[in-house]
């Protein structure tokens, strides 16, 4: 199915915002880089914030689909899939277009917790946490919520360190730490 103009705008805007940030990208830049006129943009989105929310929704759907799918390809056990998070991250970090986490960027640019952009970014992290918790529960963790929080923290820290080039292999470092957390469940799977 051919994408409609709105979908095409959101997809192109995602690339621009991911590369350049939200506040730093004005409507004139979006017009230039997406090839969509301001009139057409405002036809589909009342405000720039509405466009940002649509971009974050697309990024969320794409990222979670990729991550969960890759985790399932790497293992057919819940504990193995949780380990797979970090293998998948290492693959992502090696891609030339990697520029950190769009949701962390959004929450840092829109710090008011009541702002719809902040809420959308936070919702993405909550959905990841929920998924990790379900896997930890299926793996037999006595406190699946705590294990999931720790794995999410490792994941987020690895992304930040990779984006900032602070350590040589943050995905591998996070993977080794995750193995320590998951060792009892890996032996049983």
In the chain (189 residues long), the average pLDDT of successive 10-residue segments reads 81 96 95 92 95 98 98 97 98 96 98 98 98 97 96 98 94 97 76
Distance CA 60, CA 25 (A): 20
Compute the distance between CA of residue 44 and CA of residue 66 in angstroms, rounded to an integer.
27
Alpha carbons 179 and 151: distance in angstroms, whole number: 10
Whole-angstrom distance, CA of residue 21 vs CA of residue 62: 19
* Per-residue model confidence (pLDDT) at position 1: 44
Per-residue 3-state assignment (H helix, E strand, C coil) for 98-150 = CCCCHHHHHHHHCCCCCCHHHHHHHHHHHHHHHHHHHHHHHHCCCCHHHHHHH
**CATH topology classification for 57-187:** Tetracycline Repressor; domain 2 (1.10.357)
How is residue 24 annotated by DSSP?
A: T
DSSP 96: T
Q: Quote the tokens at residue 98.
A: 């990697």
pLDDT at position 186 is 73
């Amino acid at each position: 199915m051919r994408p409609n103009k709105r979908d095409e705008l959101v997809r192109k805007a995602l690339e621009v915002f991911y590369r350049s940030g939200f506040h730093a990208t004005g409507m004139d830049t979006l017009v230039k880089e997406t090839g969509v006129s301001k009139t057409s943009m405002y036809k589909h989105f009342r405000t720039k914030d509405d466009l940002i929310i649509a971009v974050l929704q697309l990024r969320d759907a794409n990222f979670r689909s990729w991550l969960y799918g890759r985790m399932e390809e790497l293992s057919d056990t819940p504990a193995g899939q949780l380990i797979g998070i970090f293998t998948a991250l290492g693959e992502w970090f090696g891609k030339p277009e990697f520029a950190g986490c769009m949701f962390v960027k959004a929450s840092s640019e829109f710090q008011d917790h009541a702002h719809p952009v902040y809420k959308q970014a936070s919702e993405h992290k909550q959905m990841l946490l929920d998924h990790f918790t379900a896997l930890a529960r299926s793996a037999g963790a006595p406190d699946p919520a705590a294990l999931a929080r720790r794995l999410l923290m490792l994941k987020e820290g690895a992304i930040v360190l990779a984006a900032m080039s602070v350590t040589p292999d943050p995905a591998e470092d996070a993977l080794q730490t995750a193995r320590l957390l998951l060792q009892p469940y890996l032996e049983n799977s």
